[in-house]
Every structure is written in structure tokens, then in C-alpha cells.
Amino acid sequence: MTTPLSKLATLDTTIVDRLPSYSQTLFAAKTTQRLTFEEIAKELGRSEVAVAAIFYGQAQASDEDVKKLGSILKIPFGILESSGITSFPNRGRSGPMPPVEPLIYRLYEIVQNYGYAFKAVMNEKFGDGIMSAIAFSSKVEKEVDNDGVTWVNITLRGKWLPFTRF
């Protein structure tokens, strides 16, 4: 089944200059092939959030990812291989701070409003430390309640890293 273009995440042209050049190549091919991140993720054996992070230059692709992406998106292997997609990512530069895109701003707002509450509850449960964003996974799920209202569930799963005493 072909995904309608109106249902595909495409590249926001206002942030192109902040992204690696391969982002444009990946998004253009994704749009041409009419593939969702979920469909690409299934082929790569990775989560859809991890795949989207590769597209935005926020995660590193493995050689195996590159081969599969080339095949799925019909991009010649040599183009992807030489693009820097397997290089170490320059994370955290994809958008302005504070964010201006409304959905991203709402996620930022959640951390602003509930960040200290999250911290307090985590400290009480785990002690003094931080949640890793390196030993980390995430998923996004859609839920429809009994009243037919649609909800988003975002799971952030990070390894707990206790601060060491020195």
C-alpha cells in the first residue's frame, strides 16, 4: 500500500542549513518511495525514532544500515557511503533554541514545566544520578481511548547512571 504524501514526514526546509547534506538525499528518496519511518525501520531492524534520528544527522548509521537504506530508498551505495552518514554525528544542532516548531516546542515545554518534577521523582526512586541519553531507546505509540480521543504515548527509556562519590 502506498502512503499518501500528506501522511509522510518530509524535510523542513527552514532547518536544511543545520543538517548534514545527506539529510536532503534521504528525505527526497523517502518521499519518492512514499515510505514512512516505521516502514523503513522494519527493514533496518531499528526503531522508527532511531531511523528518523539518522535522517536528521542525530544518530550514526552502521555500514549495514547504509546498505539497507540504499536498497530500500533506491540510492546508490556509493552516494550514501561517501556522504558522511557513518561518521560521528554532530548532535544537538538541528534546530533553534528555544524551538519554534510547535510540536517540538511542546516537548521542550514539557521539560520546562515538569523537568524538576521528573528529576525529584527519579532521585527518590534511583538516588542521585542522571538518565542516560546514550544508553537509551524511545518509541512513539498511538492510543485511542474509549471515547475515541486520540492520545500520543512517548516512551523514553534510559539507563540510570548514579553519580559517583570522589
Residue tagged active-site, from 62, 106, 137, 157: 106
**CB-based burial label for 72 (10 Å; 0-12, 13-18, 19+):** middle
Extended strands (E) in the chain: 129-144, 150-162
* Pairwise CA distance, residues 131 & 59, whole Å: 18
Residue 83 a catalytic site member: no
Is 132 designated active site? yes
Helix (H), strand (E) at residue 68: helix 63-73
141 noted as active-site residue? no
Choose, from 62, 91, 109, 157, the residue flagged as catalytic: 109
- In this structure, what C-alpha cell is assigned to residue 123? 532521585
76 phi and psi, to 5 degrees?
-55, 135
Contacts of 72 (CB under 8 A, 6+ apart): 33, 35, 40, 43, 44
CA-to-CA dists, residue 26 to 14, 59, 71, 132, angstroms: 17, 14, 12, 28
Q: Which of 71, 87, 132, 137 is catalytic?
A: 132
Active site residues: 106, 109, 132
